[in-house]
Structure 1
Amino acid sequence: MALLPKILHVKKLQLANEIHSIIWSVLYTFGMAVSGFLVYKVGVSAAFILDGLLFVLCFVMLMNVRIEVRVNPATRNIVAMFKETLSYIRHDRKVFYLMLLHALVGLTAFDALVALMVHEYYTHLIATSLAIGLLHASRALGLVVGPLLIGRHMTNTRLRYVWMFQAFAIMLWAAVMPHFYLSLMASVLVGLCTTTLWSYTYTLLQHHTDPAYYGRVVAYNDMLFLLMAAATSMLIGFCADAGVSLPMITLMLGVLFVVATWYYYWLQQRFELKEIP
């Protein structure tokens, strides 16, 4: 992700981020869906072996990729570069707040929630692995279709409404969760805006970052995003252990997206965010 801003114009960068987000999200979500079907059909051991073979295939494909980018040799101490980057983020508050905005997309880490809802509601209807696979496949469909429908129409102002739609979709999912087929349809809506939120907020961050700090800012941004995703999974687990119902947990996540909408509105009022041309 640090490489893309160096070789692409801003508008193409947004499209590249959308493509990257679609590939990452779909392969991640659809991969879990396929694994559910595979575990159901061939068992756990065979599924793990096939997963390992896919990594071998990816390694072979990457060996043949050639991208000509000038690499400047490092002349400074790693600790000094680390301090310099933290100082840059601390002084450029816009970059820091955009990193937080992108990290909020990590609230869509529903893996634990899906496993819990299948165990709670659907095991009497369908095999557990198959139900997990279908739910992830439904969300993967939304992840693919979403950018095709709304990606080209995105602006800084419209991003606010996309955050709100994400909140609405999650709350709707909470309402229909006990009903398997309605939950499948709601999963499509939940995935519809996730890819666009991820790619557009990432592009905003890249667009407002000093090129000298691209790689380091992207690295810290990814750390923050994964931390938010991990915290979301932990929150789901802690709430479930405390006896909070799964629809209520999902509703809480929807409310957090309402808070994220307000946060983005506040960010727009405080800073002048450049439109992506």
Structure 2
Amino acid sequence: MDNNAGQTALWPLQSDGQYRDWMGDLDLAIGAIDRGESWSAAARGDYDERWTASLQAMADIWTGRPGTLYIRFAHEFNGTWYPWSVTAADRDDFISAWKRFRALQIQYFPAARLVFTPNSETPGDRGFDWRTFFPGSQYVDVISIPYFNAWPYASTVDEFWDRAVSVDAYGAPRGIQAHIQFARSVGLPFAVSEWGPNARFGDAPVFMEQMNQFFRENAGAGPGQLLYEILFNVPIDGNAFGLMPSTNAPLAAERYRELW
């Protein structure tokens, strides 16, 4: 639900939507602000009415469903590709706006869980440490990242783990192991809200094997443990990410079927 209309319409959850009968846990990305809007305005409360409507709609639709709804707000804020992408100058406003959304979530949908999701790495020209945008553990329930086999691509176990433990020029996590350690350091569970191969770079079953191992070894609900993971099985960008029913990474797809 990556735009303002989607925040309140919540199409996948409606009576004609894909997840109308879903009773399990669900991760719902709702964006934050749209083009022409700003984090400074969000910090002032200019979008509280829309965010309240979104949370009230979620709470109403979710009533009676036993699963937990995880709200992925302002996901990948440290990238450059969404209207809610931040600059270094946005830090204080972002944190203030996040706290406003958290207060609304606690008021209108306390059963939900709020997910803080930086992109797994910050583009080098951004000029900031994404950790300085973290609002504090009391304002977040789960820390998650997207994680795909690219930038850099891994075709061996050593390449996978070289990336897994890597950090950026500011010391902020880039790799999945570094990210889960950050989650542990702030006392929150970890999730991988989107992950998978990237067939534009190659077809590496070893990536699937190592992700499976990482997930199993770190599974749990405590601080620095893996609470959930979601395969990004979406046929976009020339089907770079899809594994089923069709795929451009047949070896990775087969390994996924074997392991999961």
TM-score class normalised by the smaller sequence: under 0.3
Larger Rg: 1
Which structure's relative contact order is higher, taking Cα pairs within 8 Å and 6+ residues apart?
1
Instruction: Say which structure is richer in strand.
Output: 2
Give the TM-score of the pair, scaled to structure 2. Answer: 0.27
Instruction: Say which structure is richer in helix.
Output: 1
